[in-house]
Structure 1
Amino acid sequence: MFSLLFCRGRCAVVRKCTAKSTGQEYAAKFLKKRRRGQDCKAEILHEIAVLELMKSNPRIVNLHEVYETANEIILVLEYAAGGEIFDLCVPDLDDRIGERDIVRLIRQILEGLCCLHENNIVHLDLKPQNILLSSVNPLGDVKIVDFGMSRKLENCSELRQIMGTTEYLAPEILNYDPITTATDMWNIGVISYMLLTQESPFVGADNQETYLNISQVNVDYSEETFSSVSQPAKDFIQKLLTKNPEERPTAEACLSHLWLQQGEFILLCSPEETCCSSLMPGHTTKCTEERNVKSNCNGTSSNKEDKENIPEDSSTVSKRFRFDDSLQYPQDFMTDFVC
């Protein structure tokens, strides 16, 4: 059972949890199997399958356990105490992080994306709110979260969908053109812009103005906006915020960009850990299902009525899932968490 900090999103409720036996903190994401009269279980199983596949990558939130009740599926995730990197994009931030720190964060996001894209998975909702930090002081490591909109690209068919968050949408989504891994790369450009300038590049007075800014790629690269931003950083953003997806560099290519080569960087994968081949030149090991990471809920502490226990009824079973056949391996349900 779990002890939780309350947080509510569009499709889920997230609570901070503590394991009774170890004191380890986790985040429990409660997902309704039916929302607005529709069966959403397949979408949830897809999100679980992505997390299972990415277990080797330390940049992606770790799935600790899965439970299912009559009405909900509960994901017990790694807890990231540092909060969203969105908090680093606000204009009135007292302790604004330097470009060197931003370089490290963008590199880590790209490391996570490399592993996703090698497995033909697109996130499709990359934004500062979905990138968490393991700690804030000192500035911790990146944890990519929320794969509810992610899709697995198939070679035999094109993916065309209108989905995502308004100010982060890529032009091809607005045009209902095919979605590729390049769609995520547009978002890397937006995130980099926000971290470096504390401004959102495309947001307008209303949705229509925002859509127009995106479709016309109206970006402010003025000297005033980029006064404290290096030329290599500006070049990095300009290469990503281009309308033609085919002209955007891949995640792997971005890691070789001059801007991201500045300073000293330590790959946080020990020899025992398995990383994607794109993270280490000459390394060909693919992602495996082994890794350790953290998930976060940003919100305020709940009142007692917000706290709840994961039910102990016999219908609740711990499960694991795969993409192809959603294989389930029941285990005894252990009430080891306090919510």
Structure 2
Amino acid sequence: MPRWGEGGVGLKSRAVPGPWCWLVPGWRGWRAARRGPRSVGRGRAQPTLRSPLAPLRRGKFAVVKKCVEKATGREFAAKFLRKRRKGEDCRADILHEIAVLELAARSPHVVDLHEVYETPAEIVLVLECAAGGEIFQQCVAEPDEAFTEQDVIRLVRQILRGVAHLHQNNVVHLDLKPQNILLTSSSPLGDIRIVDFGLSRRVDAGREVREILGTPEYVAPEVLSYEPISTATDMWSVGVLTYVMLTGESPFLGDTKQETFLNISQVNVQFPPDVFQGVSDQAIGFIRSLLLRNPRYPPLPPGLGHVAPGPEPPAPGEIGPGAGLAEVPGEGARPSSGFVKPDLKNLQGRRFHHLPR
């Protein structure tokens, strides 16, 4: 039987393991999915973007499309990010996302950044292609295709390892949700990759900044009450994620956004027997242990983010007071703290490529 660990915090296993693209010399050598041929550059640096395919993902200010490295035939996901959004220069926001991906490069459960290209209008991140898509698809699938509890234990273990690696680098994701957790393959069920670090922030001791950001169904109570944000914010989201992965239902979703926020603020979470039929008490205890106001979890074991899949039990991390977050990029004041600066000198000429108009 799966086991969810002491007090529900952490995944515990002894004998049985697992019981419960970058910026600057040219697009040469790439072809990517765009609408028809398009050149971005001059002379030898001109790439031809072809093979129009449907976007893998689309957001408000970005689109992700599959691309192929001509020299090797390897598939990647190209994330096209507009540098100006709502009339504001958001290049610093994108550089921050690149820097976070660089910090997380050693984690096997964070999407890998391959290269970066910058044009006058866009920055393109060439990322590892997680062919299995979002875990959201399995969360809402028919019962015979949905995750089993054993699946959820293994995947949550990996999510915790990825989050642990971020927290050990003083980074909080702040937007953990099924749409931002991808699978390397859907059949057979692969491993997870955490993506989309646009709202992530670095937290530094001795400085408290309060901020409203995130996705309504997954946001933590301290965000809504404008209290200091910390790594606990991510752990709350892991609890919501686990609930959704086990049941396909959202624990706090109301008929309106206001009702959803009220449910979160009051920690109004239910575990209906018909919804949780066949789900173990340990799994429910694990979720309850994360959906707490003002929690204080034990510190993350050193090196947890690097632990390979096996019997070692990952534990949620230190969720002490966080710091330095600013306004949501593109909505209100621009971020003034909590950003990570990339080492452009190190990236220059290696993976950071500037393309002329």
TM-score range, shorter chain: 0.7 to 0.9
Residue aligning to 1:77: 127
Residue aligning to 2:32: 3
Provide Cα deviations, 1:201-260, integer angstroms capped at 9, x if missing partner: 0011010110111001111113222221101000000000112233x566659x9xxxxx
Cα distance in structure 2, aligned partners of 1:243 and 1:176: 13
Residue aligning to 1:46: 96
TM-score (norm 2): 0.72
**Residues 93-172 of structure 1 aligned to structure 2 (within 5 Å):** 93-172=143-222
Q: 1:192 aligns with which of 236, 242, 249?
A: 242
| Structure with more relative contact order (C-alpha pairs < 8 Å, separation 6 or more) | 1
1:330 aligned to 2:348?
yes
Q: How far is 1:267 from its partner? A: 2.3
Residue aligning to 2:110: 60
Cα distance in structure 2, aligned partners of 1:32 and 1:55: 24
Cα distance in structure 2, aligned partners of 1:147 and 1:238: 26
Residue aligning to 2:39: none
TM-score (norm 1): 0.76
RMSD: 2.7
Q: Which runs of 4+ in 1 moved over 6 A?
A: 277-280, 332-335
Residue aligning to 1:18: 68
SS of aligned partner of 1:327:
helix
Cα–Cα, structure 1 residues 231 and 250, in superposed 2: closer, same or farther, change >3 Å?
farther
Q: Are 2:174 and 2:233, in contact at CA under 8 Å, matched by a contact in 1?
A: yes
Q: Which moved more, 1:90-99 or 1:79-88?
A: 90-99
Cα distance in structure 1, aligned partners of 2:126 and 2:185: 19
Cα distance in structure 1, aligned partners of 2:352 and 2:260: 48
Q: Are 2:176 and 2:234, in contact at CA under 8 Å, matched by a contact in 1?
A: yes
Percent identity among equivalent residues? Answer: 55
Q: How far is 1:92 from its partner? A: 3.1
Q: Are 2:99 and 2:342, in contact at CA under 8 Å, matched by a contact in 1?
A: no
Q: Are 1:60 and 1:112, in contact at CA under 8 Å, matched by a contact in 2?
A: yes
**Structure 1 segments unaligned to the other structure (5+ residues):** 256-265, 270-276, 281-321
Residue aligning to 2:142: 92
Q: 2:84 aligns with which of 23, 34, 45?
A: 34
Residue aligning to 2:262: 212
Q: How far is 1:158 from its partner? A: 1.0
Q: 2:308 aligns with which of 225, 249, 267?
A: 267
SS of aligned partner of 1:2:
strand
**Structure 2 segments unaligned to the other structure (5+ residues):** 1-29, 34-52, 316-339
Q: Are 1:120 and 1:152, in contact at CA under 8 Å, matched by a contact in 2?
A: yes
Cα distance in structure 2, aligned partners of 1:334 and 1:34: 19
Residue aligning to 1:319: none
Q: Which moved more, 1:163-172 or 1:237-246?
A: 237-246
Q: How far is 1:39 from its partner? A: 1.0
Residue aligning to 1:286: none
Residue aligning to 1:221: 271
Cα distance in structure 1, aligned partners of 2:169 and 2:313: 12
Cα distance in structure 2, aligned partners of 1:67 and 1:59: 24
Provide Cα deviations, 1:11-58, integer angstroms capped at 9, x if missing partner: 211110111111100000011111000111111011000101111111
Q: How far is 1:329 from its partner? A: 4.1
The amino acid that maps onto 1:267 is: A
Q: How far is 1:75 from its partner? A: 0.3
The amino acid that maps onto 1:2 is: R
Cα distance in structure 2, aligned partners of 1:324 and 1:80: 24
Cα–Cα, structure 1 residues 101 and 278, in superposed 2: closer, same or farther, change >3 Å?
closer
Cα distance in structure 2, aligned partners of 1:91 and 1:334: 39
Cα distance in structure 2, aligned partners of 1:42 and 1:86: 30
Cα distance in structure 2, aligned partners of 1:207 and 1:334: 40
Provide Cα deviations, 1:175-204, integer angstroms capped at 9, x if missing partner: 010000010000000000001111100011
Q: Which moved more, 1:178-187 or 1:158-167?
A: 158-167
Cα distance in structure 2, aligned partners of 1:72 and 1:223: 49
Q: Are 2:32 and 2:78, in contact at CA under 8 Å, matched by a contact in 1?
A: no
Residue aligning to 1:306: none
